[in-house]
């Protein structure tokens, strides 16, 4: 039934300050009118009137980078995010294991610890987890998802011992003075050796937790999200969810380097399209070139001010050779797929810019300049790199929430100049780039309004003011989570602004973000979320 939404301020996001007082949703879930209430009543005299009680309405928020299937951790993993010591980690994992009666045939997955927040100031090792159990395999995953720690039982099941070499693009921690593994694993090349054991033991039933996973996004006003590194097993599960009608929001999946992406796309050819099927589509391919700045694994051109102990010239390392990265970029460009690439350190950003330009130069694909490649995270991207992105038509998707959550750590690790300009949205804006903002869920919950607040204010947890030249306006920040997100996905004709003919994907807010003081933007709450005119969340 046609609906006439009124008694609200509707910001179209087509231009700063452009707003309306009524919006009509057609039977097909698209916007058929936006403008004055009087004209809306004339345009849709028989529409059902819906009073929004003075709310503010923006286009549904678009998550430009995250891991939708990773949201399962909120339902299935032990939460270590509040832990401040090894003792806290032990207690939380022991309580989780006992409450769920997990035995030796099962597994305890835990996530969210941050060595920067622990009293010990370092990563736990297998001895910490062995204090919880030596029979049940246990894994504690770092907040960045770039490091993990296993207990002795899991190391044994994974076949990791003193004879196991470090993989290319990753490493295993060693007991001091020996080759014996201490349980620590760094970057997916190493961590995946553990996941091969843990994932089958979870007996995952994605359909049973699909509603909980989606609520994580819908309660934050998000109507389009991303699965930004999809393995073959999860691609199969996502397609099952789509075909069974379980998806309430749009999910864009990106098969991951290291998998047989050709086979994955061939097996699910109906989803490899600009059009959604059951709210799912494959958007392109994903690779990553380095690690995490707060974990000291982001690949830098200049040394960290404070690197790992005993590493005064530490710049970390890349995870792919130029040869491998170029081959994967060519695969994307030649097949007309968008390439997403994780790059936190400026050396990794240099590598991406280098290999993508080479891939485009070598390709005969007539569409090679239309593919909108994306640099994910951009934590230490330099001004000259943003200029190069503009030349390549590359979109920066910036993890601006780092400013609040890890800004103080970056100041310590990089010093005031480099640490102060992390998440340099100002440079991106000055280069005319349609930058987007993300939270890398499940690293953080997908609170895109908070991500916008971080980009606008640039204040750390300890109250440090980072480089104010990199601030952006409230309007620019909200464009980054609405119309720029739609542009990144190539969906600007259907999403991102409130215009006739576009989907009625709406984020209904409890107050007007443009009338709040910039420092209060984070206090704005999502009251309801509509997908194609239908309410999918009510706070």
Within 10 Å of residue 28's Cβ, how many Cβ atoms?
A: 11
Q: The tokens of 91 are what?
A: 């207690």
133-181 confidence digits (pLDDT tens): 999 999 999 998 899 999 999 999 999 999 999 998 899 999 999 999 9
Q: Tokens 């780039």 belong to which residue?
A: 433
* Contact assessment for residue 66 and residue 436, using Cβ atoms and an 8 Å cutoff: no
Model pLDDT, residue 312: 85
pLDDT tier, 389 (very low <50, low <70, confident <90, very high otherwise) = very high
DSSP strand E in 266-349: where?
280-282, 284-288, 338-343
* Contact assessment for residue 490 and residue 503, using Cβ atoms and an 8 Å cutoff: no
* Contact assessment for residue 531 and residue 539, using Cβ atoms and an 8 Å cutoff: no
Cα 506 from Cα 218, distance rounded (Å): 11
Cα 67 from Cα 439, distance rounded (Å): 10
Average pLDDT over residues 235-261: 97
Within 10 Å of residue 465's Cβ, how many Cβ atoms?
A: 12
Helix (H) or strand (E) holding 426: helix 425-430
Query: What domains are there in the chain, each with its CATH number?
Result: 107-201 (3.10.310.70)
Model pLDDT, residue 203: 86
Cα 113 from Cα 98, distance rounded (Å): 20
Cα 476 from Cα 425, distance rounded (Å): 9
Cα 253 from Cα 280, distance rounded (Å): 8
DSSP-based three-state secondary structure for 390: helix
Q: Residue 307 above 90 pLDDT? A: no
* Contact assessment for residue 31 and residue 20, using Cβ atoms and an 8 Å cutoff: no
Model pLDDT, residue 80: 96
Q: How far is CA 208 from the centre of its chain?
A: 23
pLDDT tier, 308 (very low <50, low <70, confident <90, very high otherwise) = confident
| Nearest residue to 12 (alpha-carbon basis) of 47, 56, 50 | 56
- CA 81 → CA 99, 437, 443, distances in Å? 19, 22, 10
Model pLDDT, residue 306: 87
46-72 confidence digits (pLDDT tens): 999 999 999 999 999 999 999 999 999
Q: Would you give the DSSP letter of residue 72?
A: G
Q: What is the 3-state composition of the chain as percent helix, strand, coil, each rounded to the nearest 5?
A: 35, 25, 40
The pTM is what? Answer: 0.93
Cα 161 from Cα 399, distance rounded (Å): 36
* Contact assessment for residue 338 and residue 374, using Cβ atoms and an 8 Å cutoff: yes
Model pLDDT, residue 309: 79
| Nearest residue to 329 (alpha-carbon basis) of 317, 319, 338 | 338
Q: What angle do CA 63, 68, 69 make, to 5 degrees?
A: 170
Q: Residue 361 above 90 pLDDT? A: yes
Helix (H) or strand (E) holding 203: none
459-507 confidence digits (pLDDT tens): 999 999 999 999 999 999 999 999 999 999 999 999 999 999 999 999 9
Cα 114 from Cα 62, distance rounded (Å): 27
Q: Residue 310 above 80 pLDDT? A: no
Cα 215 from Cα 211, distance rounded (Å): 6
27-41 confidence digits (pLDDT tens): 999 999 999 999 999
For residues 531 and 307, the model is more confident at 531
179-213 confidence digits (pLDDT tens): 999 999 999 899 999 999 998 998 888 999 999 99
Share the mean pLDDT of the chain. 96
């Amino acid at each position: 039934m046609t609906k006439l939404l009124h008694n609200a301020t509707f910001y179209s996001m087509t231009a700063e300050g452009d707003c309306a007082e009524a919006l009509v949703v057609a039977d097909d879930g698209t916007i058929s009118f936006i403008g004055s209430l009087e004209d809306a009543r004339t345009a849709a005299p028989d529409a059902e009137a819906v009073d929004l009680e003075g709310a503010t309405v923006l286009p549904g928020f678009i998550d430009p980078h995250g891991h939708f299937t990773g949201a399962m951790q909120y339902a299935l993993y032990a939460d270590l995010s509040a832990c401040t010591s090894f003792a806290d980690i032990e207690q939380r994992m022991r309580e989780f294991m006992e409450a769920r009666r997990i035995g030796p045939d099962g597994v305890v997955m835990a996530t969210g610890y941050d060595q920067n927040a622990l009293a010990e100031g370092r990563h736990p090792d297998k001895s910490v987890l062995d204090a919880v159990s030596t029979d049940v395999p246990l894994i504690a995953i770092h907040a960045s998802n770039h490091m993990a720690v296993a207990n002795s039982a899991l190391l044994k099941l994974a076949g990791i011992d003193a004879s196991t070499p470090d993989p290319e693009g990753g490493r295993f921690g060693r007991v001091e003075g020996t080759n014996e593994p201490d349980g620590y694993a760094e970057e997916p090349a190493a961590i995946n050796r553990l996941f091969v054991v843990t994932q089958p033991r979870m007996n995952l039933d994605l359909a049973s937790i699909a509603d909980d996973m989606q609520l994580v996004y819908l309660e934050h006003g998000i109507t389009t999200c991303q699965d930004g590194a999809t393995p073959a097993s999860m691609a199969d599960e996502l397609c099952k969810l789509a075909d069974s009608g379980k998806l309430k929001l749009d999910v864009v999946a990106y098969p991951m380097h290291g998998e047989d992406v050709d086979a994955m796309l061939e097996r699910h050819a109906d989803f490899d399209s600009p059009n959604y099927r059951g709210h799912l589509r494959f958007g392109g391919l994903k690779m990553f070139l380095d690690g995490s700045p707060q974990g000291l694994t982001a690949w830098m051109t200049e040394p960290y001010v404070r690197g790992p102990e005993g590493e005064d010239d530490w710049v970390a390392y890349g995870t792919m050779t130029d040869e491998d990265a170029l081959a994967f970029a060519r695969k994307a460009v030649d097949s007309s797929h968008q390439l997403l690439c994780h790059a936190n350190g400026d050396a990794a950003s240099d590598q991406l810019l280098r290999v993508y330009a080479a891939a485009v130069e070598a390709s005969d694909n007539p569409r090679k300049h239309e593919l909108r490649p994306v640099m994910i995270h951009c934590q230490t991207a330099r001004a000259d790199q943003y200029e190069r992105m503009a030349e390549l038509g590359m979109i920066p998707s910036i993890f601006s929430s780092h400013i609040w959550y890890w800004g103080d750590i970056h100041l310590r690790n990089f010093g005031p100049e480099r640490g102060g300009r992390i998440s340099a949205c100002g440079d991106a804006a000055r280069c005319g780039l349609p930058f987007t903002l993300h939270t890398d869920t499940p690293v953080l919950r997908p609170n895109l309004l908070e991500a916008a607040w971080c980009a606008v204010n640039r204040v750390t947890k300890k109250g440090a003011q980072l480089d104010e030249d990199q601030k952006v306006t409230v309007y620019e920040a909200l464009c980054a989570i609405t119309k720029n997100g739609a542009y990144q996905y190539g969906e600007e004709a259907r999403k991102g602004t409130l215009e006739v003919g576009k989907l009625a994907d709406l984020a209904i807010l409890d107050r007007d973000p443009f009338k709040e003081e910039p420092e209060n933007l984070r206090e704005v709450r999502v009251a309801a979320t509509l997908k194609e005119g239908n309410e999918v969340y009510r706070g």
